[in-house]
Structure 1
Amino acid sequence: MSRVVILVIDGLGIGAMPDAAALRQGDATADTLGHVLDVDPPRLPTLAALGLGLVHPHESLTEPLIPGARAGRSALGYPGADTFAGHQTMMGTDMNGVLPALFRDHIDTVASALRSAGHEARPLDGLPVLLVDGRAVVGDNLEADPGLSWNVSGDLEEMTFDEILGIARTVRRIAPTSRVIAVGGRGPEPILRSVRHGTGGTAGLDTPASGFYLNDGLQVVHLGVEIDHAAQLPSRAAEAGLPVTLIGKAADIIVCPPAVRRPAVGTVEVLKETRTALTRASDTLVVANVQETDLAGHQQDAPRYRAHLREVDLGLVPLLEAMEPGDHLIVTGDHGNDPTIGHPFHTREFVPLLHYDPANSPAPSALPDSATLANVARDAARTLGIPFTER
């Protein structure tokens, strides 16, 4: 019997990839983990014991490795640095064909589609952004690289999340971007005060400035490009009769209808749900995402990033205690998000691949570099004994 847990620490990069400067020249020096640990490093004994210090040497990561731990690093295997593309790649989809699209180049088409669906839609003065039904803002995602995704955002004091999601679904049907993201939250002032120009010709809601991330009740759904989700790891596992649980942001961006979904934002809650899911069945696949590290990166808040890494480390302790011979834990990232880089975007970095197998008693070892995060799905499928081919 095998149980596989894939834990994604969102935005955990361990050093710039060779082509990182193609996104922004300054990103050639990106090193999310290194820069987070350089000042007042938190104690991360569990991550160190799993091999994090093996792939990113640092004086604070000197804990002896536990038997069964193997550690390496992975290139992303998709263009840019994007959570949606990262997770789809990790689940086995080739995302190399996704192309960027600025909202300003499609605003008229989007407005026409929304009006045909019964909505009011008008551009805001001086900005290539749509105000829909007088309450929702549609424009570029200012936290992503230009053209990767569009946001449909609304204040939950003014409209329901179902209304926001309905608008987003209409936009998704015609959007060429990899993602359309429905965002609902609560802020201290009207969201139009946080709509602005971004970099590279973008414009939209500045979500961190809106206060959505600082208040309870944040709701987010990622609507991605058409993907053969039936060929991905979770659907393959479900087809083989294995229980599948998606936790945190993974529940928003991975499609697997039979899966148990446990949306959560708080790091402590995500780790708790992951530990609980591991005990539900003798054969199971769990995919969990820790989002708060990524949010701290977007807010350029290194102390907050450190605090969430510490929460991850503490939450891993009961998870490891629940693992039995035959189980596998894979801890990785989906891109970088260096909170010291000077901008709020993801950074194109290598990510760690920490693979723990309690039945593997020989000494801990280093893994060769992986060219793509799709190898996560391949390794998990092999462990679970299910067929898998990257598509």
Structure 2
Amino acid sequence: MSRTVIVVVDGLGVGAMPDAGALRPGDLSADTLGHVLDHCRATNGRAPQLPALAALGLGLLRPHPALAAPSALPAAVARASLGYPGADTYAGHQTMMGADFSRVTVARLGERLAEVTGALKRAGHTVEPLDGRPLLVVDRHALVHDNLEADPGINWNVSGRLRDLPFERILGIARTVRAVAPVARVIAVGGHAEEPLPASVRQGDCGTVGLDTPATGFYRNGGLRVRHLGAPLDHSRQLPELAARAGIPVTLVGKAADILPCERALRRPAVPTGEVLAHTLAAVRAAGRAAGSDGTALVVANVQETDLAGHQQDPLRFGAVLEHVDRGLGALLAELDAPGDRLIVTGDHGNDPGIGHACHTREYVLVLVHRPGAPPLPGSGAGPARLPDASSLADVGATAAHSLGLDPGGLAGGSPLPV
């Protein structure tokens, strides 16, 4: 039996990678986890209480008084380089699951306006530039624009107010754009905003122009609808498909349900952290009860609200969400106690809320592996062991494949950590 659970804490970086300053020199000081802990302690008089993360050995990766609790958990910890260009949720998850992300192009929408405009008009849409700027107004209400929340040129968005257009129509426009887009993701976004969206358009980095999505109120007003349309990749060589072909039940939770392809997966989309954690725990418990099952299962969950707090540049909210995540991890640790079970806690990029901008930050991410029933690793005694840095997030998927008894060579990339 191996119930293998990957929990991605979206945007939780543990320090800048060496090339983090290539786009924004100030990003060399990025340290999402450290800055969140320090800000909360300075403002609230205490840092967030994270006993589960501390027990898993997070303090070995990012030393901090809040993470100094002794632990006897049989865990292994490592930092992982991202293994893909920039700092992006979609690219991070695809790389983590084993896809080859080398052919995706970085491009600003302004470089492809004629091509996108032609595709939309052929599909029967009305298309106009917005005040002569390099973004498009489609069917009077939807905006096609550069995504300002990731590094320039990685993603494009199609955004609309749900009072103006139903989400299905926004999604249809996004699919037309996706057919001609060379970038990693085209993201369809529908939400509720008091003002027309052009009021929140602003200049981004490196000549990009787009919607300041946090400023619209989409994230705080509720009812947000999002669909991620990814670049064509060989998804057959990703972990969910590899597991499903082997007859292993696969559950995708939170944003992972939106961005990871796998036709046979059970999907549990959710944004509120409590719902994400509840779905994850329920999937773990269901794996052991399934009729005719040996208990083997793969669960991949994404906690999105940490990333949203980073975009909102709100370290106090980030810290509060981390405490909520930690409580959920505690419940998962209590459940995943059989030999062969694995809990892998990781991230997809950084999103430092104190860095001075609302974009992702290119940081190393945590890889914490709970390994009940496994013998202690050399030099670790009874507690967590520090491993060498992983060269790519693809190593997370390869580690999970190995724990499930699958051949990691079936993935497009990655090598299992020695756990």
Bin for the TM-score computed over the shorter chain = over 0.9
Residue 368 of structure 1 corresponds to: 388
Q: Which amino acid aligns with 2:284?
A: L
CA offsets, 1:167-207, max 9 Å, x none? 10100000011110011111122212112222211112111
Residue 315 of structure 2 corresponds to: 302
Distance 1:349 1:173 in 2: 31
Residue 350 of structure 1 corresponds to: 364
For the 8 Å contact 1:67–1:360, the answer to whether it is kept is no
Q: TM-score normalized by structure 2?
A: 0.91
Distance 1:278 1:101 in 2: 40
Distance 1:252 1:125 in 2: 33
Q: Which amino acid aligns with 2:12?
A: L
Mapping 1:76-115, distance limit 5 Å: 76-115=82-121
Q: How many residues were matched structurally? A: 391
Q: 1:134 aligns with which of 132, 135, 140?
A: 140
CA offsets, 1:260-308, max 9 Å, x none? 1111111111111110011122111000001111111111111111111
1:355 Cα offset (Å): 0.2
Residue 381 of structure 1 corresponds to: 401
Distance 1:199 1:77 in 2: 23
For the 8 Å contact 1:236–1:388, the answer to whether it is kept is no
Q: TM-score normalized by structure 1?
A: 0.98
1:325 Cα offset (Å): 2.3
Q: Which amino acid aligns with 2:308?
A: L
Please list every run of 5 or more consecutive structure 2 residues that lacks an aligned counterpart in the other structure.
42-46, 288-294, 377-381, 413-419
Distance 1:321 1:163 in 2: 44
Residue 3 of structure 1 corresponds to: 3
Percent identity of equivalent pairs: 60
CA offsets, 1:205-255, max 9 Å, x none? 111111000011111111111111111000010000011011111111110
For the 8 Å contact 2:100–2:234, the answer to whether it is kept is no
Mapping 1:269-348, distance limit 5 Å: 269-281=275-287, 282-323=295-336, 324-348=338-362
Please list every run of 5 or more consecutive structure 1 residues that lacks an aligned counterpart in the other structure.
none
For the 8 Å contact 1:23–1:80, the answer to whether it is kept is no
Mapping 1:186-197, distance limit 5 Å: 186-197=192-203
Residue 25 of structure 2 corresponds to: 25
Distance 2:21 2:308 in 1: 22
1:361 Cα offset (Å): 5.2
For the 8 Å contact 1:67–1:361, the answer to whether it is kept is no
Please identify runs of 4+ aligned residues in structure 1 that moved more than 2 A: 96-99, 387-391
Distance 1:254 1:234 in 2: 8
